[in-house]
Copies of this chain bind each other. A is one copy, B any other.
Amino acid sequence: MKIFNYKTVSEKQLQKLFGRTSINTEKVGALVKPIVEDVKKNGDKAVLKYAKKFDGLLGNSVRATALELTTAEKKLDMATKTAINTAAKNIERFHLKQKPLSYSIETMPGVNCRRRHLPIENVGLYIPGGSAVLVSTMLMLGIPAKIAGCKRVIVSSPTQGNEIHPALAYAAKICRVKEFYKVGGAHAIAMMSYGTKSIKKVDKILGPGNQFVTTAKTIVSNDPDGCTIDMPSGPSEVLIIADEFANPAYVASDLLAQAEHGADSQVILLTSSAKLANETVKEISEQIKVLPRKELVKQSINSSFIMVVPTIYKAIKLSNNYAPEHLILNLKNAEKYVSQITNAGSVFIGAFSPESVGDYASGTNHSLPTYGYAKSIGGVSVESFMKPITFQKLTRNGLKKISSTVIQLAETEKLDAHANSVRVRLKNGN
């Protein structure tokens, strides 16, 4: 990992270092679009074709039977079951506090206005398969959906060798998921978004994925026949701010944890201590030796960087500007700096808060904004599975009271029929 010094880095270099590589949408889109369109047009038949081709599906049904799910779930060992239970309990505790409250007020006498949050009725969760089973993602999406009260929650996840991983089946059961599809990739997104003869379409799709999945999500979210999505997801990111009191072994372990997500992971350390910077590099080369994913980790570590900054204040400014998905404050007085954070997905405060606790079990959600989207959106929450509806109810007198305001503004905007809909009601009795 290369070490830079903020004082000797040009503005241009700085921009390059903090720059993100984005998906080549044209290239990936050219591959993904025909698949999405095929599924939109040909439904079940197309889904089955791609599931056999890409997901190694056996048989002729993409939907897992109840027996399949129960059989898988029963194979789970006790230690993993206990871990899933503990994580689920913490996630539930944290997310329960997010359920939005309804309210009702009189903005004027006789003018009653309300807001209620209702669950999104049909929700599709995408759980990536690929190199490992993401049981934690099942919990991070399924638990808020359950708290929100979504009527129908379906899951799509590619299986390896046609069998659902016991841990995933168990996590799905905890989240009360009954509709489980053994499908991954762009065709899974299209299947949920447009629906088929046998599968009812969903109103929203949530969940991470590779560039094919992300591109498919973008395509369906731009199509009014499709559905909305949580957010576009890019490579995972961590930015660590550490001072001279930080333990380099801890810092190195956090950098490596992020790096193992993939070769394109973004891993950044900003520190006020040149000594820590050097020691962290040494620690990385020690710790990396025993990692099974060593080669992949090396790739992403090599494209990452450490920067020595003059002050912690400067580090926070750089971080706010970058808006990392994960931000670790490995600082002696970490709490002191918390109020200065303006842009980040999830923040880990102090030496004993590694990112991995948030990835699995502290209770916060791990579906977080990448690409700098933390400047304007937050991670997945109970609200992600609900939508607010507003209501107003006026009495005859309420309408009378507000009428001159409405008529005046409608006339300013030259919308006479708008003014008229008030006038006509004032003329008659009922």
Tell me if A224 and B391 are in contact (CB < 8 A). Answer: no
Cα distance A297–B376 in the bound complex, in angstroms: 38
- Annotate A285-304 by CB proximity to B: 1 below 8 A, 0 otherwise: 00100011100010000000
Cα distance A223–B25 in the bound complex, in angstroms: 9
Tell me if A293 and B416 are in contact (CB < 8 A). Answer: yes
Tell me if A346 and B392 are in contact (CB < 8 A). Answer: yes
Tell me if B363 and A111 are in contact (CB < 8 A). Answer: yes
Cβ of A198 within 8 Å of any chain B Cβ, yes or no, is no
Name the residue of chain B whose CB is nearest to the CB of A261: B415
Cβ of A98 within 8 Å of any chain B Cβ, yes or no, is yes
Cβ of A142 within 8 Å of any chain B Cβ, yes or no, is no
Cα distance A430–B259 in the bound complex, in angstroms: 24
Cβ of A22 within 8 Å of any chain B Cβ, yes or no, is yes
Cβ of A360 within 8 Å of any chain B Cβ, yes or no, is yes
A308 to chain B, nearest CB (A): 22
A293 to chain B, nearest CB (A): 7
Cβ of A182 within 8 Å of any chain B Cβ, yes or no, is no
Chain B residues, Cβ within 8 Å of A115? 94, 97-98, 364, 381
Tell me if B406 and A344 are in contact (CB < 8 A). Answer: no
Given the known inter-chain contacts A97-B103, A374-B387, A425-B351, please indicate yes or no for A121 contacting B413, CB distance below 8 A: no
Interface residues of A (CB under 8 A from B): 20, 22, 25, 79-80, 82-84, 86-87, 89-90, 93-94, 97-98, 103, 105, 107-108, 111, 113, 115, 117-118, 120-122, 131-136, 167, 203-204, 218, 222-225, 227-228, 232, 234, 247, 249-250, 253-254, 256-257, 259-261, 287, 291-293, 297, 334-335, 338, 341-365, 369, 371-379, 381, 383, 387-396, 398-399, 402, 404-406, 408-410, 412-422, 424-425, 428, 430
21 A-B interface contacts by CB (under 8 A): A80-B408, A80-B409, A83-B405, A97-B105, A136-B409, A167-B412, A204-B375, A247-B430, A287-B424, A291-B420, A345-B389, A348-B391, A348-B392, A351-B425, A352-B396, A352-B425, A354-B425, A357-B422, A358-B390, A362-B402, A364-B390
16 additional A-B residue pairs with CB within 8 Å, beyond A94-B113, A113-B362: A83-B405, A93-B107, A111-B362, A111-B363, A131-B414, A132-B413, A203-B375, A224-B234, A253-B417, A257-B420, A292-B414, A292-B416, A346-B391, A363-B392, A374-B387, A379-B388
